[in-house]
Chains A and B, each alone.
Chain A
Amino acid sequence: AQSVTQLDSHVSVSEGTPVLLRCNYSSSYSPSLFWYVQHPNKGLQLLLKYTSAATLVKGINGFEAEFKKSETSFHLTKPSAHMSDAAEYFCVVSFGGSQGNLIFGKGTKLSVKP
Protein backbone atom coordinates (compact mmCIF):
# COMPACT_ATOMS: atom_id res chain seq x y z
CA ALA A 1 0.00 0.00 0.00
CA GLN A 2 1.10 3.53 -0.72
CA SER A 3 1.73 5.87 2.19
CA VAL A 4 3.58 9.00 3.20
CA THR A 5 5.15 9.64 6.58
CA GLN A 6 6.32 12.94 7.98
CA LEU A 7 8.71 11.97 10.69
CA ASP A 8 8.34 15.04 12.89
CA SER A 9 5.07 16.60 13.97
CA HIS A 10 6.84 19.71 15.24
CA VAL A 11 10.21 21.27 14.40
CA SER A 12 11.60 24.34 16.12
CA VAL A 13 14.58 26.32 14.80
CA SER A 14 16.17 29.68 15.44
CA GLU A 15 15.98 32.40 12.82
CA GLY A 16 18.95 32.16 10.47
CA THR A 17 19.60 28.45 11.10
CA PRO A 18 18.93 25.62 8.64
CA VAL A 19 15.57 23.89 8.31
CA LEU A 20 15.08 20.16 7.71
CA LEU A 21 11.59 18.67 7.44
CA ARG A 22 11.61 14.95 6.80
CA CYS A 23 9.30 12.94 4.57
CA ASN A 24 9.37 9.26 3.60
CA TYR A 25 7.02 7.48 1.26
CA SER A 26 6.14 3.91 0.54
CA SER A 27 5.24 2.95 -3.01
CA SER A 28 5.66 0.29 -5.61
CA TYR A 29 5.50 2.94 -8.32
CA SER A 30 7.55 6.02 -9.12
CA PRO A 31 5.53 8.75 -7.47
CA SER A 32 5.15 12.44 -8.02
CA LEU A 33 5.99 14.33 -4.84
CA PHE A 34 5.03 17.74 -3.57
CA TRP A 35 5.53 19.96 -0.56
CA TYR A 36 2.74 22.35 0.41
CA VAL A 37 2.77 25.03 3.10
CA GLN A 38 -0.24 26.17 5.12
CA HIS A 39 -0.12 29.42 7.09
CA PRO A 40 -2.75 29.87 9.84
CA ASN A 41 -6.24 30.35 8.43
CA LYS A 42 -4.85 30.27 4.90
CA GLY A 43 -5.11 27.84 2.04
CA LEU A 44 -2.38 25.41 1.11
CA GLN A 45 0.30 26.80 -1.18
CA LEU A 46 2.58 24.73 -3.38
CA LEU A 47 6.25 25.05 -2.44
CA LEU A 48 7.75 22.66 -4.96
CA LYS A 49 7.15 19.45 -6.87
CA TYR A 50 9.14 16.49 -8.15
CA THR A 51 7.97 14.69 -11.28
CA SER A 52 10.89 12.45 -12.30
CA ALA A 53 13.10 15.18 -13.73
CA ALA A 54 16.02 16.48 -11.65
CA THR A 55 16.24 14.85 -8.23
CA LEU A 56 17.06 18.16 -6.53
CA VAL A 57 14.05 20.43 -6.79
CA LYS A 58 14.09 24.12 -6.03
CA GLY A 59 10.95 25.82 -4.84
CA ILE A 60 9.73 29.19 -3.70
CA ASN A 61 11.05 31.16 -0.73
CA GLY A 62 14.45 29.45 -0.81
CA PHE A 63 13.18 25.94 -0.09
CA GLU A 64 14.43 22.87 -1.89
CA ALA A 65 13.95 19.13 -1.65
CA GLU A 66 15.92 16.13 -2.82
CA PHE A 67 14.31 12.95 -4.10
CA LYS A 68 16.28 9.89 -2.97
CA LYS A 69 14.80 6.76 -4.43
CA SER A 70 17.12 4.43 -2.50
CA GLU A 71 15.94 5.95 0.76
CA THR A 72 12.34 6.60 -0.40
CA SER A 73 12.72 10.10 0.99
CA PHE A 74 11.86 13.62 -0.10
CA HIS A 75 13.13 15.85 2.69
CA LEU A 76 12.53 19.61 2.58
CA THR A 77 15.39 21.96 3.44
CA LYS A 78 16.21 25.64 3.62
CA PRO A 79 19.66 27.04 4.47
CA SER A 80 18.45 29.88 6.68
CA ALA A 81 15.07 30.10 8.40
CA HIS A 82 13.06 33.31 8.42
CA MET A 83 10.32 34.22 10.88
CA SER A 84 7.80 34.17 8.03
CA ASP A 85 8.56 30.49 7.44
CA ALA A 86 6.62 29.53 10.56
CA ALA A 87 3.72 27.43 9.27
CA GLU A 88 2.49 23.86 8.75
CA TYR A 89 4.20 21.89 5.99
CA PHE A 90 2.69 18.92 4.20
CA CYS A 91 4.47 16.31 2.14
CA VAL A 92 2.15 15.02 -0.57
CA VAL A 93 2.50 12.01 -2.80
CA SER A 94 0.68 11.20 -5.99
CA PHE A 95 0.77 7.66 -7.27
CA GLY A 96 -0.91 8.33 -10.57
CA GLY A 97 -4.19 6.98 -11.83
CA SER A 98 -7.14 8.84 -10.42
CA GLN A 99 -6.85 12.59 -10.25
CA GLY A 100 -7.80 12.41 -6.65
CA ASN A 101 -5.09 10.00 -5.74
CA LEU A 102 -3.10 12.42 -3.60
CA ILE A 103 -2.01 11.32 -0.19
CA PHE A 104 -1.10 13.99 2.36
CA GLY A 105 1.21 13.47 5.29
CA LYS A 106 0.00 14.49 8.72
CA GLY A 107 2.02 17.69 8.56
CA THR A 108 5.00 19.20 10.35
CA LYS A 109 4.56 22.42 12.26
CA LEU A 110 7.61 24.63 11.90
CA SER A 111 8.28 27.19 14.63
CA VAL A 112 10.97 29.85 14.17
CA LYS A 113 12.42 31.52 17.23
CA PRO A 114 13.93 35.02 17.02
Chain B
Amino acid sequence: GAGVSQSPRYKVAKRGQDVALRCDPISGHVSLFWYQQALGQGPEFLTYFQNEAQLDKSGLPSDRFFAERPEGSVSTLKIQRTQQEDSAVYLCASSSRQGYNSPLHFGNGTRLTVT
Protein backbone atom coordinates (compact mmCIF):
# COMPACT_ATOMS: atom_id res chain seq x y z
CA GLY B 1 0.00 0.00 0.00
CA ALA B 2 0.97 3.64 -0.27
CA GLY B 3 3.31 4.95 2.37
CA VAL B 4 3.92 8.47 3.62
CA SER B 5 4.56 10.78 0.68
CA GLN B 6 6.49 14.03 0.91
CA SER B 7 6.96 16.70 -1.73
CA PRO B 8 9.08 18.13 -3.09
CA ARG B 9 11.99 15.71 -2.59
CA TYR B 10 14.47 18.54 -3.00
CA LYS B 11 14.04 22.27 -2.54
CA VAL B 12 16.60 25.00 -3.05
CA ALA B 13 15.66 28.39 -1.67
CA LYS B 14 17.47 31.68 -1.54
CA ARG B 15 17.88 33.13 1.91
CA GLY B 16 14.80 35.13 2.79
CA GLN B 17 12.39 33.16 0.65
CA ASP B 18 9.37 31.36 2.04
CA VAL B 19 8.99 27.61 1.46
CA ALA B 20 6.15 25.12 1.91
CA LEU B 21 6.74 21.41 2.39
CA ARG B 22 3.93 18.93 1.96
CA CYS B 23 3.23 15.63 3.68
CA ASP B 24 0.59 13.07 2.67
CA PRO B 25 0.32 10.56 5.53
CA ILE B 26 -0.93 7.03 5.22
CA SER B 27 -4.68 7.14 4.78
CA GLY B 28 -6.53 6.96 8.07
CA HIS B 29 -3.50 7.65 10.25
CA VAL B 30 -4.46 9.77 13.20
CA SER B 31 -1.07 11.01 14.29
CA LEU B 32 1.34 13.07 12.18
CA PHE B 33 4.80 14.29 13.13
CA TRP B 34 7.40 16.59 11.60
CA TYR B 35 11.10 16.14 12.28
CA GLN B 36 14.18 18.08 11.22
CA GLN B 37 17.34 16.13 10.43
CA ALA B 38 20.53 18.14 10.06
CA LEU B 39 23.47 16.63 8.22
CA GLY B 40 25.09 13.88 10.28
CA GLN B 41 22.52 14.11 13.06
CA GLY B 42 19.48 12.19 14.17
CA PRO B 43 16.01 13.59 13.54
CA GLU B 44 14.76 16.18 16.01
CA PHE B 45 11.10 16.64 16.81
CA LEU B 46 9.37 19.74 15.47
CA THR B 47 5.63 19.30 15.92
CA TYR B 48 2.83 16.76 16.34
CA PHE B 49 -0.79 16.61 15.16
CA GLN B 50 -3.59 14.37 16.29
CA ASN B 51 -6.10 14.62 13.46
CA GLU B 52 -6.34 18.38 12.77
CA ALA B 53 -5.28 19.46 16.24
CA GLN B 54 -1.69 20.55 16.74
CA LEU B 55 -1.04 19.13 20.18
CA ASP B 56 2.65 19.85 20.48
CA LYS B 57 4.74 22.44 18.69
CA SER B 58 7.47 22.70 21.25
CA GLY B 59 10.18 21.68 18.78
CA LEU B 60 9.62 24.44 16.26
CA PRO B 61 12.87 26.43 16.36
CA SER B 62 11.39 29.87 15.78
CA ASP B 63 8.21 31.70 14.87
CA ARG B 64 9.30 31.49 11.24
CA PHE B 65 8.19 27.86 11.31
CA PHE B 66 4.50 27.08 11.00
CA ALA B 67 2.67 23.80 10.43
CA GLU B 68 -0.94 23.00 9.69
CA ARG B 69 -3.18 20.03 9.04
CA PRO B 70 -6.57 21.64 8.44
CA GLU B 71 -8.57 18.55 7.50
CA GLY B 72 -6.71 16.00 9.53
CA SER B 73 -4.92 14.41 6.60
CA VAL B 74 -2.40 16.35 4.48
CA SER B 75 -0.02 18.56 6.41
CA THR B 76 2.10 21.51 5.32
CA LEU B 77 5.23 22.79 7.04
CA LYS B 78 5.93 26.39 6.14
CA ILE B 79 9.18 28.20 6.77
CA GLN B 80 9.17 31.95 6.34
CA ARG B 81 12.22 34.08 5.54
CA THR B 82 14.48 31.03 5.28
CA GLN B 83 17.95 31.17 6.78
CA GLN B 84 20.99 29.03 6.01
CA GLU B 85 20.64 27.20 9.31
CA ASP B 86 17.27 25.92 8.09
CA SER B 87 19.08 23.68 5.59
CA ALA B 88 18.20 20.13 6.57
CA VAL B 89 16.07 17.16 5.64
CA TYR B 90 12.52 17.55 6.88
CA LEU B 91 10.86 14.25 7.69
CA CYS B 92 7.18 13.57 8.08
CA ALA B 93 5.87 10.51 9.90
CA SER B 94 2.43 9.15 10.65
CA SER B 95 1.01 6.62 13.05
CA SER B 96 -2.28 4.80 13.13
CA ARG B 97 -2.73 4.95 16.87
CA GLN B 98 -2.29 7.23 19.80
CA GLY B 99 0.19 6.25 22.42
CA TYR B 100 3.85 6.99 22.69
CA ASN B 101 4.99 3.51 21.76
CA SER B 102 3.21 3.37 18.42
CA PRO B 103 5.67 2.81 15.60
CA LEU B 104 6.02 5.64 13.12
CA HIS B 105 5.93 5.35 9.33
CA PHE B 106 8.31 7.86 7.78
CA GLY B 107 8.33 9.52 4.40
CA ASN B 108 11.52 9.90 2.37
CA GLY B 109 11.87 13.51 3.45
CA THR B 110 12.36 16.86 1.77
CA ARG B 111 15.95 18.05 1.53
CA LEU B 112 15.95 21.83 1.90
CA THR B 113 19.04 23.79 0.90
CA VAL B 114 19.10 27.50 1.64
CA THR B 115 21.70 29.42 -0.34
Contact = CB atoms under 8 A, between A and B. Distances in A.
Interface of A: 32, 34, 36, 41-46, 49, 51, 90, 94-102, 104-107
A97 B100 contact: yes
- Lowest 10 A-B CB distances belong to which pairs? A104-B42, A43-B106, A100-B48, A32-B101, A44-B106, A100-B56, A46-B103, A51-B101, A94-B100, A43-B108
A99 B50 contact: yes
Interface string B93-115: 10000111101111111000000
Q: Is the interface of B mostly helix, strand, loop or mixed?
A: loop
B2 interface: no
A4 to B, nearest CB: 9
Interface string B69-89: 000000000000000000000
B3 interface: yes
A41 B31 CA distance: 24
Contacts, number: 70
Contacts of B99: 99
Given A43-B107, A100-B55, A100-B59, 17 more contacts: A41-B108, A43-B3, A43-B4, A43-B105, A43-B108, A44-B93, A45-B106, A46-B103, A90-B43, A94-B100, A100-B33, A101-B45, A102-B100, A104-B44, A105-B42, A106-B41, A106-B42
Interface in B29-65: 31, 33, 35, 40-45, 47-48, 50, 55-56, 58-59
